Chains A and B, each alone.
Chain A
Amino acid sequence: MAHEEIHSDVHTDAFDPSNVTNPEHAQHHIVTPMQYVLVYVTLLVGTAITVLAAYHDMGVWNPVVALFIACFKACVVVLFFMHAKYQSRLIKMTIGSGFFLFIVLITMTLLDYISRSWGMW
């Protein structure tokens, strides 16, 4: 069948103006199991570090470290397990916009809550 060529491992530029029907497409990329194993180990190590770090008193840094590790793990999952690293710019922007708006929701709402305690003026 004709679609079989699509699955070749050849890297091409994500933007291909000659492809008139679908100029924003990205070449399909297959991540190897070896990479998956590496990612898997990284994630397990990350989990262990999170738990260990939680039992060390670092004051205000505790949540920061925990969140940093969680973000790192999430990035790894998004990039490799979810193949975002090999996706088109469009998909990357989609992911980005989701997190952007999440940040908007949080910061703009927190703006209210934080500044409430600043007093009447």
Chain B
Amino acid sequence: MGISPVLWQFLVHWLHNSALFPAEASTIAPWMDALYFFLLGMTLTGLFLVGVLVFGFSIRYRKEKNPVATQIEGSTLLEATWTIIPLAIFLLTFVWGALLYFRIYDPPPNAMNIYIVGKQWMWKAEHPGGQHEINSLHVPAGRPIQLTMISQDVFHSFSIPDFRVKREVIPGRYTTVWFNATDPGTYHIFCTQYCGTQHSGMIGEVTVLSAPDYQKWLAQSTSGMSLAQNGERLFASMGCNACHSGNAAARGPNLAGVYGTKLTLTDGSQVQVNDAFLRDAILNPSQHVTAGFAPIMPTYQGQVSEDGLIDLVEYIKNLNTNYRVQQTLMTSESNQAAPPTPAGGTTETVKP
């Protein structure tokens, strides 16, 4: 053979390292693939049908065989057939796709929450325990993980193809996606929404660890302060506790245990207190005034970074009593006074 062994080795190596199908590394992946193969089957069937018709007729009725054409007006029956059958298949696809969509975008209530901040051109992951990562994400296998994501500048899109999940990361708004990784390993993270010059450099790796490895990793990479503790410090340094003190005479509403409840606003509307509401209420307070309170809160637009907002949200989320808020008010050196959080760094919402 004329192929040089070096070239041959190169070719083999090259082909060996190429892929034709993504790994199925999350619980959702098989479901996505099932729909994919169904649709693939539909496409191939359609193509086959059209191919058979075109080639069949072309051979059967080519001019040599059939010199004179027979004029046919049409057929209502046939028209109805190829209107109704494709419509039925497409509607089936619609239902199937919709079910999958809500499976992917409706996180289970016990999911462990990790925050993602996208900015040109990197991903920052913030674990509740205070572990920060850039362009990488460590998650435990076999446990639903919810990502709460926001962008600091332009549209990004957080995509993990091997998990078959993706969601746009939007400036000014939290979006969420969830997955349950099955196999330990590393997988690609891509930014799939064009976001400027280094768009193709906005990539990272998600590392799926087994539960014990994950605990080890958590312990190794902690920065000492959990998100909630950071939030507490921010809360104090910006003077939030002056109004949101939880006292009966306080000028701001009591924040302890507010997360997850339904609030009535001054305009009479009822809202669910979630991450997005808390963030908005900090930035645009006048649109989120709790009934019975005066609209006196200033806006913090431009004063807190998205990371800071995440800290605050995480803090308020986990605020069960006002004891510490009031403690902080009395002791000026709040951060020293903060006792360490419970071991493991996980918060109440993420208990499996």
- List the interface of chain A (C-beta within 8 A of B): 119-121
Q: For B105, list chain A residues within 8 Å (CB).
A: 120
* Interface pair A121/B272, CB less than 8 Å apart: no
Query: B106 in the interface, Cβ–Cβ < 8 Å?
Result: yes
Q: For A119, list chain B residues within 8 Å (CB).
A: 272
Q: For A121, list chain B residues within 8 Å (CB).
A: 102, 106
A120 to B175, CA, bound (A): 10
Q: For B272, list chain A residues within 8 Å (CB).
A: 119
Q: For B106, list chain A residues within 8 Å (CB).
A: 120-121
- The closest CB in chain A to the CB of B272 belongs to A119
Proximity string of chain B (80-107) to chain A, C-beta cutoff 8 Å, 1 when within and 0 when not: 0000000000000000000000100110
- The closest CB in chain B to the CB of A116 belongs to B173
Whole-angstrom distance between the Cβ of A21 and the nearest chain B Cβ: 29
- The closest CB in chain A to the CB of B271 belongs to A117
- The closest CB in chain B to the CB of A120 belongs to B106
- The closest CB in chain B to the CB of A121 belongs to B106
Whole-angstrom distance between the Cβ of B284 and the nearest chain A Cβ: 14
A119 to B276, CA, bound (A): 11
A121 to B102, CA, bound (A): 9
Proximity string of chain B (269-280) to chain A, C-beta cutoff 8 Å, 1 when within and 0 when not: 000100000000
Whole-angstrom distance between the Cβ of B262 and the nearest chain A Cβ: 11
A119 to B176, CA, bound (A): 12
Whole-angstrom distance between the Cβ of A119 and the nearest chain B Cβ: 6
A120 to B106, CA, bound (A): 7
Proximity string of chain B (256-278) to chain A, C-beta cutoff 8 Å, 1 when within and 0 when not: 00000000000000001000000
Whole-angstrom distance between the Cβ of A60 and the nearest chain B Cβ: 13
- The closest CB in chain B to the CB of A117 belongs to B271
- The closest CB in chain A to the CB of B105 belongs to A120
A121 to B106, CA, bound (A): 8
